[in-house]
Structure 1
Amino acid sequence: MTMDILVLGGAHIDRRGRISGETVPGASNPGTWIEEPGGGAFNAARALSRLGLDIAMITPRGGDGLGERVGEAARDAGIDDRPFTFLDRATPSYTAILERDGNLVIGFADMELYRLFTPRRLQIKAVRAAFEDAKSVLVDANLPAETLAAIAARARQLNRPLAAIAISPAKVGHYASCLEGLDYLFLNRAEAAVVAAAEADHPSKWPDLLRKAGLKGGVVTHGAGPVVAFAGMEAWILQPPPLAAIADVTGAGDSLAAGVLFGLSRRQDLGQALRHGVALAGLTLLSPHATVENLDADMLATALRQVPQPSRL
């Protein structure tokens, strides 16, 4: 096995408008605009590569200038980029409007191209070889449900750990037929409620609810509240340290997933890996970008000193 993680999922363009004053629905709001490459899987892949892991990425992409920007960003981050390029299609995009404090007002996803990443593409010789070369696999719910199920089956066949990012309450249902094939699913509380078909009255209740839904491991975030992680019958809860100011919430969940996976790659238990995820998410919340562009292991180690130890549940 020659690579640490094979990443399959979203790699597209993120556009974010941030309102400068109080949000006024139904009216023109002054603000600022940023456009950059993003996507759940891609955000996590860039963070993992900057932390020193060997990352390969397979994603669908359009044959346009936006697709070229995504490819350039992947190369800049040190990722082994292996896209499926559809020359006659547009690269997917995600547009978000944020309040002054960085919280999401509304998002709009133009993701039709991802539907073309069908299960049969996993049969391509180069893709089969990538699975065999990888120590583990990371996906996100931008891919179609049938493709995610096929990826889970391939990972199980090769005995490769499989982690997944929920992306949104609307898309987390793409994992419905393969929940038992996921080793870890990274979710926020709204996404967890969709998977569990129930709402936890306290963060500590999520492990039991998600186990009953068929999930064997996962991490659930609650905004600035406690983060809960579980694997099998073990579970941990951790209160993230307060942040002085949040620049942008975009990508924080993807960074948390990357931090946890980085810790696990260093043979830490899930409780300690969770600390790495919280530290990296905090760094991302302080950044105006969806990833921390100057991230390295030393920066993460410094941030980790501010993160408390988790408690077992």
Structure 2
Amino acid sequence: MTGSRILVLGGAHVDRRGRIAGETAPGASNPGTWFVEAGGGAFNAARNLARLGHRVRLVSPRGGDADGDIVTAAAEAAGVEDTPFVFLDRATPSYTAIIERDGNLVVALADMELYRLFSPRRLQQRAMREAMAEADIILTDANLPAETLAAIARAATSSRLPLAGIAISPAKVVRFRENLSTLAFLFMNEAEARTLTGASPEDPADWPKALREAGLSAGVVTRGGRGVVAFDGTGAALVVPPDIPALGDVTGAGDSLASGFLSAWARGAGIGEALRHGVAAAAITVRSPLAVAEEMSEEALAGALFLVPKAEILS
């Protein structure tokens, strides 16, 4: 099936992840292994979407350093059209995380200063205007400044393009706050959703109401193993993820869920079926040691769907 033309604007940097080999000992030296790969919410999603058959173009700030070369090579390997803003005298952004043996995050440090240079005026450049004119969907993340996200939202609305967002973190999701009503979907976890709503519903059916009251018309909330909630103007759905026997690393799982969801939604699926595709994509990712599973493909996703239960329609 023919894919969509998706313009991705946002984080594309280098992830450094240290994985603790045994039980975590806070405040002490822990034996483990170190791993370096390209990352970033928008970039992870871009690579997954390309592997799922879509034509993806990435625009993101990058430094003129070896880390920038890592990002460039990863984009090429995934089939993403890579058109960065390059600042030769700057360092490419990076994210450094310490992961427990079971794959859960202990602590992370994000050096994202370069993203501040992706200012709203960048959107006025001819290449950017042409990229938007050629797109069917725009995907961005909250690594970009709030004023830039607002400018992207205005441009998407003017061009009648669906705009989806990835929350990134509780500290950054607030950058979407002024533009929530313009988003086709916002992908977030419970902590990020709580930042927008000030609420923490136990019943998954209460999340759509709380987020709608905050101004969001459609979104997806991941809740760990307790299920993922999606809603839009037509209704809401819940999918409980299958048990994953061999957990690799949760890094990138949310980005792959967004990718699987958007891929299916772009091809006409309703939110229940799109959510199943998102959960299946996340299952492929958490079985991989990489934030973007090399085995991600339309065929692999079709196989993983057999493990995902039908969506429960929420009242």
User: Match of 1:226, as an amino acid?
Assistant: G
Partner of 1:137: 138
Task: Measure how far apart 1:263 and its partner are.
Answer: 0.4
Q: Deviations over 1:11-55 (max 9, x none)?
A: 000000011111111000011111000000000000000111000
In structure 1, the residue matched to 2:14 is 13
Kindly provide the amino acid, as one letter, of the partner of residue 273 in structure 1: A
Name the residue aligned to 2:215: 214
Match of 1:52 in 2: 53
Deviation at 1:134, TM superposition (A): 0.1
TM-superposed deviation, 1:193:
0.1
How far did residue 265 of structure 1 move?
A: 1.6
Map Cα deviations across residues 129-161 of structure 1 (whole Å, 9 max, x no partner): 101100010000000000000000100000000
Separation in structure 2 between the aligned mates of residue 73 and residue 52 of structure 1, nearest angstrom:
17
Aligned residues: 312
Shift of 1:201: 2.1
Q: Deviation at 1:69? A: 1.2
Q: Provide, for residues 50-103 of structure 1, a one-character-per-residue CA deviation record: whole Å limited to 9, x for no partner.
A: 111000010000011110110111011111111000011000000000111000
Q: How does 1:180-259 map to 2 (within 5 A)?
A: 180-259=181-260
| Counterpart secondary structure, 1:57 | strand
Matches within 5 A, 1:225-304: 225-304=226-305
- State the one-letter code of the partner of 2:311: P
Partner of 1:33: 34
Shift of 1:232: 1.4
How many angstroms apart in 2 are the aligned matches of 1:275 and 1:3?
Answer: 19
- The runs of 4+ residues in structure 1 deviating greater than 4 Å are none
Q: Which residue of 1 aligns with 2:66?
A: 65
C-alpha displacement at 1:233, in angstroms? 4.4
How far does the alpha carbon of each residue in 1:211-268 deviate from its partner, in whole angstroms, 9 at most, with x for none?
0000010000011111100011410011111111211000000000000001012111
Partner-residue secondary structure (3-state), 1:203: coil
Contact 1:57–1:83 (CA under 8 A) maintained in structure 2:
yes
Residues 4 and 266 in structure 2, CA contact (< 8 A), matched pair in contact too: no
3-state SS, counterpart of residue 171 of structure 1: helix
Q: Secondary structure at the match of 2:301?
A: helix
Partner-residue secondary structure (3-state), 1:61: strand
SS in 1 for 2:44: helix
Deviation per CA, 1:161-202: give whole Å up to 9, x if none.
Answer: 000000011111111111111110000000000011211122
1:294 CA drift (Å): 2.4
Match of 2:157 in 1: 156
Structure 2 CA distance for aligned equivalents of residues 252 and 3 of structure 1? 22
How much identity, in percent, do the aligned residues show?
58
Cα distance, 1:3 vs structure 2: 5.8
CA distance, structure 1, for counterparts of residue 171 and residue 252 of structure 2: 17
Secondary structure of the equivalent of 2:241?
coil
Mapped contact 1:3–1:133 kept (Cα < 8 A): no
How far is 1:296 from its partner? Answer: 1.3
- Separation (CA, whole Å) in 1 of partners of 2:87 and 2:78: 23
The TM-score, its normalising length taken from structure 1, stands at 0.98
| Cα contact 1:3–1:56 (8 A) shared by 2 | no
Aligned to 1:23, what secondary structure does the other structure show? coil
Structure 2 residue runs of 5 or longer lacking an equivalent are none
Report the equivalent of 1:97: 98
Q: Which amino acid aligns with 1:213?
A: A
- 2:124 aligned with 1:123, yes or no? yes
Aligned AA (1:71): T
**1:306 maps to what in 2?**
307
Per the alignment, in what secondary structure is the counterpart of residue 15 of structure 1?
A: strand
Matched letter for residue 73 of structure 1: A
Does structure 2 conserve the Cα–Cα contact (< 8 Å) formed by 1:119 and 1:147?
A: yes
- The answer on whether the counterparts of 2:156 and 2:162 sit within 8 Å (CA) in structure 1 is yes
TM superposition shift of 1:5: 0.6
What amino acid is the match of 2:250? V
